[in-house]
Structure 1
């Protein structure tokens, strides 16, 4: 009876070990890709920083491309979750847009390296992401734009181009990750605090809602 349960325990232990190693590799890879981009990073560098041999790391991720795509996939799944305006709590534009903005800026606070990896990818022409963006981001964006057009039709906000509204929100929230060093220097800080992100979220919410003619 005891011997029959041993493989299951070993399987759980092996699974937990694999999950731990993969999480460590992905964390380090995210840092390296954020600093150097895809072309500047190397498997040897990532393995060294992760504290394992190249051969061992390739057991978990068989190539740099596979690892890079996984890093991108992680951050994009988080972004797509926050970009689903239709699923944000609240019924009125003010609350839903506020939740949307705060959700995006919270990702910039928690995952700055992931945001930088995405920025490198887009600046490079999105060689790995073009199809993913067309298949996943565009349909979600169109659904959210349709909701905004409905608010405009109901007279709940000023008539604006929904696409450019979202482009502006993306740029304004992601700058606190992608250009964090610039902001730190301007504010004479070594790093941005949770309070800095809170203030940024409050400001951006105020600016966007007032700009749309929505009562705060």
Structure 2
């Protein structure tokens, strides 16, 4: 495939020279502002040859878009979204689409030019995959919203346009402009990668649910989020515990407290939420958790009317069973076990816990 952003005109045959010239002019001047005579002059041929190969300006426009969309589709086919964590998927989506814009900028320049002009030819000649990709990503975002991964107030279609809008500020800019925007030197690729990181961070912290409820009353007492995890499982659950610690630290007026016995639930009325974090391979429970549950059976008042978040590290059917078993036990004892939908990430589940316990 010819990279139409960097072509030596002298090495192209006549038809390719015409296509390349037309692409550059449509991208810089728009379809309506470009004349066949301009294209012929840029390609170094007479107008008769342009009409010979493409008959009309509209047919030439269609051929230009067809060639650009072939490149666009080849990029799209390289990406697989199977078994990818939502946060990583969002990163990959931004990285891939920004790379496409930077590699074939004329496709997007032509699209934006015609959008401003109010024309309809681009949509008429666009790849069917162009619309399908938009529908698939809209549905993906909608599923994330239903699973609590995205802010429930977000409009998934507007979110997509906002992501593209961020990319549209940068894909066409040259090195000097990128240096001015970022405020320091570097290669074009380095600065584009820095911008990608900024876009990813903004999307994840502005689109993915963040747990930073505001403390409405100044000077309110600090609230406790109590965490039960067996010492024997600390190493296996290291990543989950690090995320929990980081997340709770972002909740204004909250602190995380590691507890080892049910009696510590009596630490004070300010306690709003208890988190049980565990793992299992064949359905087994840690001895500490078994002891803890037995104590609650004996004194159910310790958990009555409390919100309890339960996170069983998943990976097999046994873990699913343990998760449900723990939720049922807490509810039977009079507590409020925060249900965990299958598609919910730990990040999204913590948001659900905070929302339900009004932290």
Give the TM-score band, short-chain normalised: 0.7 to 0.9
**1:31-53: CA deviations, max 9, x gaps?**
11122211221112111211222
Q: In structure 2, which of residues 158, 161, 164 is the aligned counterpart of residue 164 of structure 1?
A: 158
Question: Which residue of structure 2 lines up, in the alignment, with residue 176 of structure 1?
Answer: 170
Shift of 1:90: 5.2
Which structure 1 segments of 5+ residues have no match? 1-18
Asked whether 1:195 is paired with 2:200, we answer: no
TM-score (norm 1): 0.73
**Are the equivalent residues in 2 in contact too, given 1:34–1:120 (CA < 8 A)?**
yes
**Are the equivalent residues in 2 in contact too, given 1:82–1:100 (CA < 8 A)?**
no
Q: In structure 2, which of residues 53, 65, 68 is the aligned counterpart of residue 72 of structure 1?
A: 65
Which structure 2 segments of 5+ residues have no match? 1-11, 210-346, 348-359
Q: Which structure ranks higher in relative contact order (CA pairs < 8 Å, sequence separation ≥ 6)?
A: 1
Bigger Rg, which one? 2
Of Structure 1 and Structure 2, the greater strand share is in 2
With over 3 angstroms needed to count, the CA separation of the structure-2 counterparts of 1:30 and 1:88, relative to structure 1, is farther
> Which whole-Å CA distance do the structure 2 matches of 1:193 and 1:89 have between them?
31
Q: What number of residue pairs does the alignment pair up? A: 193
Bigger shift: residues 202-211 or 153-162: 153-162
Shift of 1:194: 1.9
With over 3 angstroms needed to count, the CA separation of the structure-2 counterparts of 1:31 and 1:106, relative to structure 1, is same
> Which whole-Å CA distance do the structure 2 matches of 1:206 and 1:20 have between them?
45
**1:59-103: CA deviations, max 9, x gaps?**
22221111112223344455566678x944652112222121112
TM-score (norm 2): 0.46
Asked whether 1:23 is paired with 2:23, we answer: no
Mapping for residues 36-115 of structure 1, pairs under 5 Å: 36-76=29-69, 78-79=71-72, 87-88=80-81, 91-115=84-108
**1:86-140: CA deviations, max 9, x gaps?**
9446521122221211122112222223321111111111321344569654443
Bigger shift: residues 71-80 or 205-214: 71-80
> Which whole-Å CA distance do the structure 2 matches of 1:134 and 1:45 have between them?
27
**Are the equivalent residues in 2 in contact too, given 1:28–1:46 (CA < 8 A)?**
yes
**Are the equivalent residues in 2 in contact too, given 1:121–1:129 (CA < 8 A)?**
yes
